[in-house]
A and B are shown apart, each in its own frame.
Chain A
Amino acid sequence: MNLEFETGIQRKQKERRYKLIEIAVILTAIIILAAILPSVIPAFRLRLIGRFLSLAIVALGIDLIWGYTGLLSLGHGIFFALGGYALAMYLKLQLPEAQIPSFFTLYGVQELPWIWQPFYSFPFTVLALFIIPGIVAGLIGYLVFRNRIKGVYFSILTQAALLVFYNFFNGQQELINGTNGLKTDTEQIFGVLVSSSGVQRTFYIITVIALFLVYLLCRWLTSGRFGRLLKAIRDDETRVRFSGYDPTGYKVLVFAISGAIAGIAGALYTVQTGIITPSIMQVAFSIEMVIWVAVGGRGTLIGAIIGTLLVRLAQTFLSESFPEIWLFFQGALFLIVVTVLPDGIVGWWQDYGWVKLRSLLGGNQPLVTYPSLAEDPDVQQERDSMSGN
């Protein structure tokens, strides 16, 4: 009884300590990213980092649906593109009265298609860039999950949906300029050129803030009962049904949120790239998103961010110095992660790295066995009684 009481308090203290460390790390990261980095690195590098951070946002969405809920989506390019196109359409419409975007004249289109009309409005666009992908994800999810399609079949279906969208966007020249996509760099926002350093820096800061907010949202969703239910669905969905939960609603909601997050990422990525084309919906890119999360560590959130940044930084470095080996490197990286670090970098750190570091620093070593076993009160009691004699 007494023992349980003590471990309870120790647990609380440990949790509080971890929480403080986490807050400190996050605040430091934000200060470095938002306040220091913009003034010390050149604008084109900042733009690159801004793109990576946007990709980290979509990785969080993938971790939510894959790492926590166990649904491997290979079609997040759809939602990413929808967000990107929404913002690009708004920027394309920043024209003098009665003009329409110039690419329309190539195809002999005289009048703005109705679907473009609402994108004159900035508030509409800001909502649309995450609500539209959210709704599309929710609809796809509803159709799939209601029919109890899961596992590999779910992954294949998401990829098929991706191909459908990819081909559809490619074919719509008269609507969205087809394969050529929409260029944003030469457009204006509130009267200023989008590619100007001031606007780019603003987008960069917005990206940092968005990443932080999306991280908080995911933290909230994955903690508490809701988060535990997601893990329960991931680990044993049938059991969940027999406990009186209908998993369909949960999965639809999480998939929709994940899609909405991808939309935000896509919009921020687009304006910091300068263009969006349907090629963003190529299969390889959606698979790459999954690789980032696998490298960083599934079901850890922070791992999704770390994985994205590491892979993308490595890619930039390698493809600048040795352009031909990058693709091999990416393949090798994935193989290494799957075989050597199945829980990714953060998973490895939590299981082994942290323990090693503590022992190297000469700290106390309660974790002589497996970390969780050492917390087992029975084992603890046994150890105490043995050393006490």
Chain B
Amino acid sequence: MSKILEIENLTVSFDGFKALNNLNFSMDSGELRVIIGPNGAGKTTFLDVITGKVQPTQGRVLFKGKNIQKLPEYKIARLGIGRKFQTPRVYLNLTVRENLDLVCNQNKNVFSTLFGRPNSGEQRTVAGLLETIGLDTKANLSANLLSHGEKQRLEIGMLVAQSPDLLLVDEPAAGLTDEETENVGALLLSLAESHSIVAIEHDMEFVRQIANDKVTVLHQGALLCEGTMEEVQNDPRVIEVYLGEAPE
């Protein structure tokens, strides 16, 4: 199976502090990979590097075998990497439908955005997505009136609208009620059928719900261990790292 994402000897230092330390990572096309790790382990920084927000001090990032370092964020996004942020970031002054439509736009150059009109394919995509994320009755509602969980789902919908091959989701269950967490989990699982996904998570309950493939544990910017949920949970190093935290 081909690799969708390969990361080689990645180091990111902020004024000498190594947020990522010689990290190696790779995942197959079609995989749903869960990354866990305590606070400050470098999980968000890891996504920052892949999406071009932070330049690595050392190392390479390959997407479908192509080196994507030094490309600006928007070009990386156009290559097919979509990112959901830790706190939901949707456009609050636009409606739910407009949020999706903006991302769905096939040609994102200035003049085609100015003169183009949404084609029927794009309209269908938006309508389909509204249903997938369960917000079809709120399509014309301004996004600032959505609940936290609905914003999370909308942002995931926006990712998909971008039609990326790789979805990066940063703590999608943070701050959600149990029911909403389950909704988001189910949404991710259904998306996993047609996308490669990296999901970063904190909440072990949620990880158990979605981790069918491999789980990667990050600790202090480096890879601690990797394996199935079962293996990872019983690994003594993982238990030690998580010991200070709530027992799972």
Q: A: which residues have CB within 8 A of B?
A: 3-4, 7-8, 11, 221, 224-226, 228-229, 231-232, 235-236, 238-239, 241-246, 249-250, 253, 372-373, 375-378
Establish whether residues B140 and A8, one from each chain, have CB atoms under 8 Å apart when the complex forms.
yes
Contact of B73 among A224, A235, A241, A375 (CB under 8 A): A241
Nearest 10 interchain pairs by C-beta: A244-B77, A241-B73, A249-B110, A226-B114, A246-B74, A244-B78, A239-B89, A377-B137, A232-B91, A243-B103
Query: Which of A11, A243, A373 has most chain B Cβ within 10 Å?
Result: A243
Chain B contact residues (Cβ within 8 angstroms of A): what range? 35 or more
B85 — which chain A residues lie within 8 A by C-beta?
239
**Contact A372 B145, CB 8 Å, known A8-B140, A225-B102, A241-B73:** yes
B40 proximal to A (CB < 8 A): no
Distance A81 CA – B98 CA, assembled complex (angstroms): 38
Question: How far is the CB of B198 from the nearest CB of chain A, in Å?
Answer: 14
Q: Say whether chain A's binding surface is mostly helix, strand, loop, or mixed.
A: helix
B57 proximal to A (CB < 8 A): no
Q: Which residues of chain B in 183-202 are interfacial with respect to chain A, using CB atoms and an 8 Å cutoff?
A: none
Establish whether residues B83 and A242, one from each chain, have CB atoms under 8 Å apart when the complex forms.
yes
Question: How far is the CB of A250 from the nearest CB of chain B, in Å?
Answer: 6
Question: How far is the CB of B135 from the nearest CB of chain A, in Å?
Answer: 11
Establish whether residues A7 and B140, one from each chain, have CB atoms under 8 Å apart when the complex forms.
yes
Establish whether residues A228 and B145, one from each chain, have CB atoms under 8 Å apart when the complex forms.
no
Establish whether residues B74 and A241, one from each chain, have CB atoms under 8 Å apart when the complex forms.
yes
Known: A241-B77, A245-B113, A372-B145. 19 other contacts (CB 8 A): A11-B140, A225-B105, A225-B113, A226-B114, A228-B98, A231-B91, A235-B93, A236-B89, A236-B91, A241-B72, A242-B77, A242-B83, A243-B102, A243-B162, A244-B103, A245-B74, A249-B109, A376-B141, A377-B137
Distance A373 CA – B156 CA, assembled complex (angstroms): 23
Q: Which residue of B lies closest to A251 (CB)?
A: B110
Contact of B136 among A4, A235, A236, A246 (CB under 8 A): A4
> Can you name 12 A-B residue pairings with CB atoms under 8 Å?
A238-B53, A241-B73, A242-B73, A242-B83, A243-B102, A243-B162, A244-B78, A244-B162, A246-B74, A246-B108, A249-B109, A375-B140
**Contact A250 B110, CB 8 Å, known A242-B73, A378-B137:** yes
**Residue-wise interface mask of B (57-94) relative to A, using a CB-CB cutoff of 8 A (1 in contact, 0 not):** 00000000000000011100110001101000111111
Question: How far is the CB of B74 from the nearest CB of chain A, in Å?
Answer: 5
Q: How many contacts A-B (CB < 8 Å)?
A: 91
Establish whether residues A242 and B108, one from each chain, have CB atoms under 8 Å apart when the complex forms.
no
Question: How far is the CB of B98 from the nearest CB of chain A, in Å?
Answer: 5
Distance A221 CA – B110 CA, assembled complex (angstroms): 12
B214 proximal to A (CB < 8 A): no
Establish whether residues A229 and B113, one from each chain, have CB atoms under 8 Å apart when the complex forms.
yes
Distance A232 CA – B93 CA, assembled complex (angstroms): 8
B118 proximal to A (CB < 8 A): yes
Q: Which residues of chain B in 21-61 are interfacial with respect to chain A, using CB atoms and an 8 Å cutoff?
A: 51, 53
B139 proximal to A (CB < 8 A): yes
**Contact A375 B108, CB 8 Å, known A225-B118, A244-B74:** no
Distance A243 CA – B85 CA, assembled complex (angstroms): 12
Distance A225 CA – B162 CA, assembled complex (angstroms): 15
B166 proximal to A (CB < 8 A): no
Contact of B91 among A3, A239, A246 (CB under 8 A): A239
Establish whether residues A372 and B137, one from each chain, have CB atoms under 8 Å apart when the complex forms.
no
Q: Which residue of B lies closest to A3 (CB)?
A: B137
B116 proximal to A (CB < 8 A): yes
Q: Which residue of B lies closest to A299 (CB)?
A: B93
Q: Which residue of B lies closest to A243 (CB)?
A: B103
Establish whether residues A232 and B94, one from each chain, have CB atoms under 8 Å apart when the complex forms.
yes
Establish whether residues A245 and B108, one from each chain, have CB atoms under 8 Å apart when the complex forms.
yes
Establish whether residues B116 and A225, one from each chain, have CB atoms under 8 Å apart when the complex forms.
yes
A239 — which chain B residues lie within 8 A by C-beta?
85, 89-91
B117 — which chain A residues lie within 8 A by C-beta?
224
B139 — which chain A residues lie within 8 A by C-beta?
4
Establish whether residues B78 and A4, one from each chain, have CB atoms under 8 Å apart when the complex forms.
no
A11 — which chain B residues lie within 8 A by C-beta?
140
Distance A231 CA – B90 CA, assembled complex (angstroms): 12
Distance A7 CA – B91 CA, assembled complex (angstroms): 22
Distance A378 CA – B150 CA, assembled complex (angstroms): 13
Distance A8 CA – B136 CA, assembled complex (angstroms): 12
**Contact A373 B93, CB 8 Å, known A242-B51, A246-B74:** no
Question: How far is the CB of A69 from the nearest CB of chain B, in Å?
Answer: 13
Question: How far is the CB of B131 from the nearest CB of chain A, in Å?
Answer: 11
Distance A241 CA – B51 CA, assembled complex (angstroms): 10
Question: How far is the CB of A4 from the nearest CB of chain B, in Å?
Answer: 5
B158 proximal to A (CB < 8 A): yes
Establish whether residues A225 and B101, one from each chain, have CB atoms under 8 Å apart when the complex forms.
yes
Distance A236 CA – B101 CA, assembled complex (angstroms): 16
A224 — which chain B residues lie within 8 A by C-beta?
114, 117
Distance A239 CA – B108 CA, assembled complex (angstroms): 14
A232 — which chain B residues lie within 8 A by C-beta?
91, 94, 102
B94 — which chain A residues lie within 8 A by C-beta?
228, 231-232
Question: How far is the CB of A230 from the nearest CB of chain B, in Å?
Answer: 10
Establish whether residues A228 and B109, one from each chain, have CB atoms under 8 Å apart when the complex forms.
no
Question: How far is the CB of B109 from the nearest CB of chain A, in Å?
Answer: 7
Question: How far is the CB of B170 from the nearest CB of chain A, in Å?
Answer: 11
B138 proximal to A (CB < 8 A): yes
